[in-house]
Structure 1
Amino acid sequence: MRTPLSGLVAAAIASLVISTGASAAPAHAAEEERPDPLLAFNHSWAMLDRETADAIEHSEYLGRFADRRINTGNDGTSTWTGRYLLGRETYLEFFGPGDAPDAVAGDTGLAVSADQDGDLAIATDNLRKLVDDPVEFTQVTDLGDGTPIPWFDVTYTTATYDTFFSWAMEYREEFLDDPRLSFPPAAYEGDVSRDRYNRDRYLDHQMRDVIGIQIATTADDIEKMVPLWRAAGITIRVLKDGGVLAFDGMTTIRLLPVPAEEAGLRHVIFALNEPAEEPATETIGNSTLHVGPGAYALWTFDPIETRATTRSQGTGKPLHPAFGG
């Protein structure tokens, strides 16, 4: 389902890694064949400053660039409002202050998910060999009738973190088959895939998928979250600075270790549906989107002041918008 990166895109990711000073990280070969992992990058969310969040919502350019949606979710206990940029298999989710519970500027999250029914259970069994007592539960959503329905199953390592949280997920077949939601029919037996969930509106825009992302977070968060990716079969490289490079066959994830007050989303690289013949640069709040030349785009985010605190909850479910969608 995933294909090797083109040489141009691989070079863009390599240059992004090198620009962070991660000289110990050899870039993967552009055409190297790798087995698909059990789980792969689904989406990432970020709590931004208000100016940038509002600009993402209202930018005319961004509305042409990507399938942008403004959605409010409700799981029966909490409500969140996010700005979504959806591609073929991956997407991004953005919040501003007050849009989601218990998140502050600089907080980020990242989900990996299964495309085949049952793969999350295998990854969870793998995780039990790496950490004690991984957390499992089913996330629900309310479609407006006051009756929550199962949405997706979740596994993660710990509910305590500083600024960055990662979880594994698998969409429930009964959710994707619900006639009220109009998802396309399964393309194969056990199809709980990302491209089925995202639908095909990306075809009317330039953005196809997230193929690279850099997130700055604490060394403690990296240590806590990365075992989940190992259990999912994602390729992991630990760098000399304590950071991590992860590669799932399409998307490269770079975790950069920083003090909590410097945490936040730094860069995103997109693959485009068609090469951009002329380069374009657009300022979106305190961020800059560079599109082309060629078949990729780079989005950079200015550092923001954060007031990160340690998160935990007795129920074992994180108090933040990680489970929005």
Structure 2
Amino acid sequence: MRTQWRISGFIAAATAALVIASGAAAPAQAEEQERQDPLLAFNHAWAMVDRETADAIEHSEYLGRFADRRINTGNDGSQTWTGRYLLGKETYLEFFGPGDAPDAVAGDTGLAVSADKDGDLATASANLHDLGVDPVEFTQVTDLGDGEPIPWFDVTYPTATYDTFFSWAMEYRDEFLEDPRLSFPPAAYEGDVSRDRYNRDRYLDHQMRDVIGIQIATTEADIEKMVPLWRAAGITIRVLKSGGVLAFDGMTTIRLLPVPAEEAGVRHIVLALNEPAEEPHTETIGSSTLHVGPGAYALWTFDPIEATPATRSNGSGEPLHPAFGG
């Protein structure tokens, strides 16, 4: 019982720190006025973890029941990547092991924010220009297996170089969501390019609903480079006296923790559940631990791994690896 209460308290404290407290405090202490509806919101995050953890995420029987798990290989016509995906209602997670993604190394992480309405990415990109940032913009394509790449989503990168953490903005393309081979649901409103439409509704058969908090450790240089993108998207930003930032989009809180490059990586993820868990459960998944309940949240913690410090750019204006997605 003491262990259960300790875990429960840990989840409550982490949730309060990452989500509830920061979400309530951010509007009063933010450097910018909070938008009621940001142009862009958290879409998904990816992380390069160690092989043991990647394999455990792929094969864990418990995790397969807990979340809508899929193992997909993406192909943009020039390179491929294989990810382990855990999909919620509007958000998802993506994990790689060594060799699964081109040019990504231990400790690398990425985070996408996206538009739910057609045209909002263009507005956010214009805002980024107004902030003095000259972004990289292009269209990500994918090959559905017939050798003919099709437009997948439009992308805005705030920079061409990074150390360990990269964030980008994206907007799904109408022709992708309406491709009859993919069977996405019809648009719920004019200009619907939403995360909800893209993820479909298989999350209802599992416990995991959405990502509502994530803590990522990265370098101060990466934080400085990536945060302007979130400002341009209308996401509330709070600079912390202890270092790093909190970003809040109305549902998901992102904490960036400044560390040396060799200490980079994902640290904590807070998940909302479809229904409160009456009994707590703790599951070891490789070098990570998933604490579920009691209550409406789960906390996933990751042991630090030895990252590989490097500043990467391919010299063509785009980061070395693409904006991975489902």
With the length of structure 2 as denominator, give the TM-score of the two structures. Answer: 0.92
Instruction: Give the whole-Å Cα distance in 2 for the aligned partners of 1:147 and 1:15.
Output: 46
Residue in 2 that maps onto 1:320: 321
Instruction: Give the whole-Å Cα distance in 1 for the aligned partners of 2:264 and 2:176.
Output: 34
* CA offset digits 1:228-249 (Å, max 9, x no partner): 0000000000111330000000
> Residue 315 of structure 1: CA displacement?
1.9
* CA offset digits 1:3-32 (Å, max 9, x no partner): xxxxxx986433458xxxxxxx963329x8
Tell me the SS of whatever aligns to 1:27: helix
What amino acid does structure 1 have at the position aligned with 2:306? E
> Residue 69 of structure 1: CA displacement?
0.1
Change (3 A) 1:291 1:87: same
Residue in 1 that maps onto 2:143: 142
Instruction: Give the whole-Å Cα distance in 1 for the aligned partners of 2:22 and 2:125.
Output: 28
What amino acid does structure 1 have at the position aligned with 2:16? A
* CA offset digits 1:87-114 (Å, max 9, x no partner): 0000000000000100111000000000
Residue in 2 that maps onto 1:55: 56
Q: Residue 43 of structure 1 contacts residue 112 of structure 1 at CA under 8 Å; is this kept in 2?
A: yes
State yes or no: 1:153 paired with 2:154. Answer: yes
Change (3 A) 1:69 1:26: closer
Where do 5+ consecutive residues of structure 1 fail to align?
1-8, 18-24
Alignment of 1:64-79 (within 5 A): 64-79=65-80
> Residue 318 of structure 1: CA displacement?
1.2
Instruction: Give the whole-Å Cα distance in 2 for the aligned partners of 1:120 and 1:188.
Output: 17
Of residues 3, 23, 27, the one that matches 1:28 is: 23
Where do 5+ consecutive residues of structure 2 fail to align?
1-10, 28-33
Q: Residue 100 of structure 1 contacts residue 321 of structure 1 at CA under 8 Å; is this kept in 2?
A: no
Q: Residue 152 of structure 1 contacts residue 169 of structure 1 at CA under 8 Å; is this kept in 2?
A: yes
What amino acid does structure 1 have at the position aligned with 2:274? N
Q: Residue 235 of structure 1 contacts residue 248 of structure 1 at CA under 8 Å; is this kept in 2?
A: yes
Instruction: Give the whole-Å Cα distance in 1 for the aligned partners of 2:69 and 2:62.
Output: 11
Residue in 2 that maps onto 1:188: 189
> Residue 34 of structure 1: CA displacement?
5.9
Instruction: Give the whole-Å Cα distance in 1 for the aligned partners of 2:182 and 2:156.
Output: 24
Q: Residue 288 of structure 1 contacts residue 300 of structure 1 at CA under 8 Å; is this kept in 2?
A: yes
Q: Residue 161 of structure 1 contacts residue 310 of structure 1 at CA under 8 Å; is this kept in 2?
A: yes
Q: Residue 89 of structure 1 contacts residue 209 of structure 1 at CA under 8 Å; is this kept in 2?
A: yes
* CA offset digits 1:111-159 (Å, max 9, x no partner): 0000000000000000001133211000000000101000000001111
State yes or no: 1:246 paired with 2:247. Answer: yes
Q: Residue 261 of structure 1 contacts residue 308 of structure 1 at CA under 8 Å; is this kept in 2?
A: yes
State yes or no: 1:237 paired with 2:238. Answer: yes
What amino acid does structure 2 have at the position aligned with 1:28? G
> Residue 162 of structure 1: CA displacement?
0.1
Query: Structure 1 vs Structure 2: percent identity of aligned residues?
Result: 86
Instruction: Give the whole-Å Cα distance in 2 for the aligned partners of 1:83 and 1:217.
Output: 22
Instruction: Give the whole-Å Cα distance in 1 for the aligned partners of 2:22 and 2:314.
Output: 38
Q: Residue 23 of structure 2 contacts residue 250 of structure 2 at CA under 8 Å; is this kept in 1?
A: no
CA-atom RMSD in angstroms: 1.9
Report which stretch shifted further, 262-271 or 240-249.
240-249
What amino acid does structure 2 have at the position aligned with 1:285? G
Instruction: Give the whole-Å Cα distance in 2 for the aligned partners of 1:39 and 1:10.
Output: 27
Instruction: Give the whole-Å Cα distance in 2 for the aligned partners of 1:324 and 1:296.
Output: 25
Instruction: Give the whole-Å Cα distance in 1 for the aligned partners of 2:307 and 2:44.
Output: 22
Instruction: Give the whole-Å Cα distance in 1 for the aligned partners of 2:12 and 2:246.
Output: 14
What amino acid does structure 1 have at the position aligned with 2:24? A
Q: Residue 142 of structure 2 contacts residue 152 of structure 2 at CA under 8 Å; is this kept in 1?
A: yes
Instruction: Give the whole-Å Cα distance in 1 for the aligned partners of 2:254 and 2:279.
Output: 27
The number of equivalent residue pairs is 310
Q: Residue 22 of structure 2 contacts residue 253 of structure 2 at CA under 8 Å; is this kept in 1?
A: no
Instruction: Give the whole-Å Cα distance in 2 for the aligned partners of 1:316 and 1:54.
Output: 33
Q: Residue 39 of structure 1 contacts residue 119 of structure 1 at CA under 8 Å; is this kept in 2?
A: yes
Residue in 1 that maps onto 2:120: 119
